Structure 1
């Protein structure tokens, strides 16, 4: 009887750890998709160049010059972690209906998916420790680390 109870507890533990790992990955994708959709599915959105004029505690602002025949925006905002320093020109995509910009191109894609990289690193710990699947854990950790490192180097 104790053997069946032990087996049931082992299956419950594995199911709980798998659920936590999946929850971490879903949270990473969900938090990344908010910015990534504008960068990756940029067709039909306003493209242009932003010149960083001033930075506050969390955002930077500056004038926006569109690439095509769209409206010129005197001031757009972008996340401070994406903007380099004052006077730098950054290719951006505007979120529809707002003056909020996201960085365009490969650096923008890597920066947008950075939360997924962090969740991959956290999920790797759960997979290695809770599920005892070390190869899968190493793969997730290396993928997450590469994504975060690429985002750091691209920006």
Structure 2
């Protein structure tokens, strides 16, 4: 009897730790880009016209909003939404020439890893913790974030 309770509690603790780890990793991964979109006050804003792409990065002509900037080109991470010839509103990461897309599309794209983490965590929550309502809520939130990003881009 005591062994069964011990095993059940160990399973719940392990699955809870895995679910929390997944969500924390999703937030951590998302925050690397999301901080520049959400906390963009005082940062360099402008538009990027994509002129060329490599396997991982795209570069292009940068037109700053304040016209006081000395930079004329910036790079942005390549994604399905970044194509040659597109003009995107961006904010430049401080101290670099790397830009991040702004607005709703940029904000949702920045939180995309969290959406995937919520979907993965929902499997652990439902299967390992047997918390079906919480699992469905996590899956719905993650799925909504992924679909919102898809339609915004």
Which runs of no fewer than 5 residues in structure 2 stay unpaired?
none
Q: For residue 9 of structure 2, what is the aligned residue in structure 1?
A: 11
Name the SS of the counterpart of 1:132 in structure 2. coil
Q: For residue 59 of structure 1, what is the aligned residue in structure 2?
A: 57
Structure 2: how far apart are the matches of 1:70 and 1:20?
48
1:19-98 paired onto structure 2 within 5 Å: 19-81=17-79, 83-98=81-96
How many aligned positions are there? 153
Structure 1: how far apart are the matches of 2:130 and 2:7?
15
Of 109, 131, 134, which aligns to 2:132? 134
What is the RMSD computed on CA atoms of the aligned residues? Answer: 1.0
TM-score, normalised with respect to structure 2 = 0.97
Deviations 1:2-38 (A, max 9, x none): x011101101100100000000000000000000000
Structure 1 stretches of at least 4 aligned residues deviating more than 6 Å after TM superposition: none
Cα distance, 1:59 vs structure 2: 1.1
TM-score, normalised with respect to structure 1 = 0.95
